[in-house]
Amino acid sequence: MQSHLSNEISAILANKASADESMGIKSKFEKDEQRANRFSKQLDDLFFDFSKSHIDQELVDTYLKYADEISLVAARKDFLAGEKINNTEERSVLHTLLRDSSNQGIATKEPSVLQEAKLAQQGFAEQFARIEQALDQRSKPIKDIIHVGIGGSSLGTQLLFEALQDANEHRQIHFIGNIDAHQLMNVFAKCDVQTTLVIGVSKTFTTAETLKNLDSICQWFKDNGVTDPLSNFFGVTANPEQASHYGLPDENVVTFPEWVGGRYSVWSSVSLSAALVLGKDRFDEFLIGAASMDKHFYQADLKDNVCFQAAILDHYYANYMDVGSKAIFAYDFRFRSLVDYLQQLETESNGKDRTRDGEPCEQKTSMVVWGGVGTDVQHSVFQMLHQGTSLIPSEFILVKTPDHDLTEHHNELLANGIAQTAALLEGQDLSTVEAIHGDEGLSDAAKKAKVFSGDRPSLTILLERLTPTALGALLAFYEHRVFFGGVLTNINSFDQMGVELGKRLAKQVRPLIDNKRATGTEFDPSTELLLSKLI
């Protein structure tokens, strides 16, 4: 099994990139009248249009050859079969079992994990029903839920809630991830302890930021006359003993399997708060949608696999077209947390410079992921997308049918999204500018300033409607795209060693700030100077 690009394939891709930079994307449409249909695909309620990118049959064929050399199909099966593909931590990656415990019919290395996955699903259903019943019996109904978690213990749940909540929902969720107390104080001002439930989420229930925030919320309850605040607290964790040690009643501890990774935990009881608002049925539909994408990911030939096509474009742009970032724009307010979620998913998974065997990676891995929502960003960053000196592939996510009756608003939103993809491709030359503005008396400089190069790549994903199943499928698509990207660059997408050093140093810095002491430390001069400013 080869784990890196052969010189032959690398040379083909380098030559292709040179040709693509010269010829552009528009020429691909001129050569192939069926290009739009050839490089688009309908998967249930999601439509993927890759045709405005640099994808073509030569690119797909080259990466199919590379996939054969690195045994990518076998790696895909190893993932779903429960092999320990997280080799640095000697762990299997099993989160897909939470949405499909039948595992696409694939036998697992450890047959017991299928049973464990089924029990996890059943256990969450039972715990959920018990909690709902308890909430219904309260003298005062719960109006607010404070969800306390950080990173993967919060981002997915927040996206799920915001994307699917009803505008008239009688319960609201307030997400606390930051240790910054300004966020806490803002939430306290909106909530009443008598009608507030707190859900703390931590895999180990030792996460410092989460526990500190829970402590402060507990004190807020006490300050407002609640003598037994922890009876209003639920813990979601893979370490129930630690949650009990914190003081939570056993009946208030909700579990999930230890093999559920943080940024892949939205499919588990980590999303308890969202499920309590949206309803368990809708949460189950969310899982069904993800399972449908799992099926495509595993069963579709690579040449027709949207997850693979997106991953090879990422690899091609980063390694052969000198692309350092990609932008994601969701033309739907309900997706306002999507970029944050995808940013963590990709950059924490594939932002690595070490191969699976610990050696320096010779390829470029994750691009910077950024973006925004709707027409807001058109009036800021789109200037750079159209006329900036860096090539930035863009992704547009649109929803065909809204969940409101203000049709004119939504049609304008869709028109803007579609128009931007067309404008990025088409551009505008000087002769077009002169034809449009010829009688306006513009200076030559003004005319030339209106020239757009075009041939800027984009991917469009159109949802029929923002339903739980469509959302589940969309997020699973991005997960599997990240997986393929990790295999293409021979890195471990499922550890996150890069976050450890800063946490360890923070434990050294904190006592210095608390004790107003910065002398005698062993930090670099800049850090010592900053510490001196804080004491």
How does residue 517 score in pLDDT terms, banded at 50, 70 and 90?
confident
Q: Same structural domain for residues 470 and 515?
A: no
| Cβ atoms 25, 459 nearer than 8 A | no
| Residue 106 DSSP label | P
Residue 338 belongs to some domain of the structure: yes
How does residue 519 score in pLDDT terms, banded at 50, 70 and 90?
low
Residue 523 pLDDT exceeds 80: yes
pLDDT, mean over the chain: 94
Residue 99 belongs to some domain of the structure: no
For the segment 118-143, the average pLDDT, to the nearest whole number, is 92
Q: Same structural domain for residues 245 and 350?
A: no
Residue 395 pLDDT exceeds 90: yes
Q: Same structural domain for residues 485 and 517?
A: no
Phi, psi of 467, rounded to the nearest 5 degrees: -105, 165
How does residue 113 score in pLDDT terms, banded at 50, 70 and 90?
confident
Q: Same structural domain for residues 350 and 485?
A: yes
pLDDT tens sequence across 421-434? 999 999 999 999 99
pLDDT tens sequence across 215-270? 999 999 999 999 999 999 999 999 999 999 999 999 999 999 999 989 999 999 99
Active site residue 90: no
Q: Same structural domain for residues 468 and 331?
A: yes
| Cβ atoms 395, 327 nearer than 8 A | yes
For residue 44, the cross-strand partners are: none
Residue 481 belongs to some domain of the structure: yes
How does residue 501 score in pLDDT terms, banded at 50, 70 and 90?
confident
Q: Same structural domain for residues 469 and 508?
A: no
Which amino acid, 327?
A
Q: Which domain holds residue 169?
A: 112-283
Residue 88 belongs to some domain of the structure: no
Of 159-168, 295-304, 352-361, least confident by mean pLDDT is 159-168
pLDDT at 114: 87
Q: Same structural domain for residues 229 and 331?
A: no
pLDDT at 516: 80
How does residue 110 score in pLDDT terms, banded at 50, 70 and 90?
confident
Residue 77 belongs to some domain of the structure: no
Residue 45 pLDDT exceeds 90: yes
Q: What is the 3-state secondary structure (H, E, C) of 465-507?
A: ECCHHHHHHHHHHHHHHHHHHHHHCCCCCCCCHHHHHHHHHHH
Residue 109 pLDDT exceeds 90: no
Measured CA to CA, the distance from residue 364 to residue 205 in angstroms comes to 35
How does residue 311 score in pLDDT terms, banded at 50, 70 and 90?
very high
Q: When comparing pLDDT for 118 and 47, which is higher? A: 47
**Active-site pick, 379, 404, 507, 516:** 379
Query: What is the number of alpha carbons within 13 Å of residue 285 lying toward its C-beta?
Result: 14
For the segment 75-92, the average pLDDT, to the nearest whole number, is 94
Residue 94 belongs to some domain of the structure: no
For the segment 202-223, the average pLDDT, to the nearest whole number, is 96
Measured CA to CA, the distance from residue 460 to residue 424 in angstroms comes to 12
For the segment 52-74, the average pLDDT, to the nearest whole number, is 97
How does residue 194 score in pLDDT terms, banded at 50, 70 and 90?
very high
Active site residue 379: yes
Measured CA to CA, the distance from residue 40 to residue 462 in angstroms comes to 11
pLDDT at 529: 86
Q: Which of 231, 251, 283 is a domain's end point?
A: 283
pLDDT at 499: 82
Q: Same structural domain for residues 356 and 420?
A: yes
**Active-site pick, 209, 285, 346, 348:** 348
Greatest CA separation found in the chain? 77
For the segment 127-150, the average pLDDT, to the nearest whole number, is 93
**Active-site pick, 118, 303, 409, 503:** 503
In the chain, how many domains are there? 3
Q: What is the 3-state secondary structure (H, E, C) of 71-89?
A: CHHHHHHHHHCCCCCECCC
Measured CA to CA, the distance from residue 117 to residue 94 in angstroms comes to 9
Residue 40 belongs to some domain of the structure: yes
How does residue 520 score in pLDDT terms, banded at 50, 70 and 90?
low
Q: Same structural domain for residues 145 and 276?
A: yes
Active site residue 348: yes
Nearest CA to 374 out of 336, 427, 342 is that of 336
Burial (0-12, 13-18, 19+ Cβ within 10 Å), 224: middle
- From its phi and psi, is residue 355 left (phi > 0), alpha (psi between -120 and 50) or beta? beta
pLDDT at 246: 96
Q: Which of 232, 250, 283 is a domain's end point?
A: 283
- From its phi and psi, is residue 370 left (phi > 0), alpha (psi between -120 and 50) or beta? beta
Where helices occur in 24-154 by DSSP H, the ranges are 26-31, 35-38, 57-69, 72-80, 112-136
pLDDT at 51: 98
Q: Same structural domain for residues 530 and 447?
A: no
Residue 291 belongs to some domain of the structure: no
Q: Same structural domain for residues 157 and 243?
A: yes
How does residue 1 score in pLDDT terms, banded at 50, 70 and 90?
very low
Spacing of C-alpha 33 from chain mean position:
34
Q: Which of 256, 283, 310 is a domain's end point?
A: 283
| Cβ atoms 147, 175 nearer than 8 A | yes
Q: Same structural domain for residues 208 and 246?
A: yes
CATH number of the domain to which 240 belongs:
3.40.50.10490
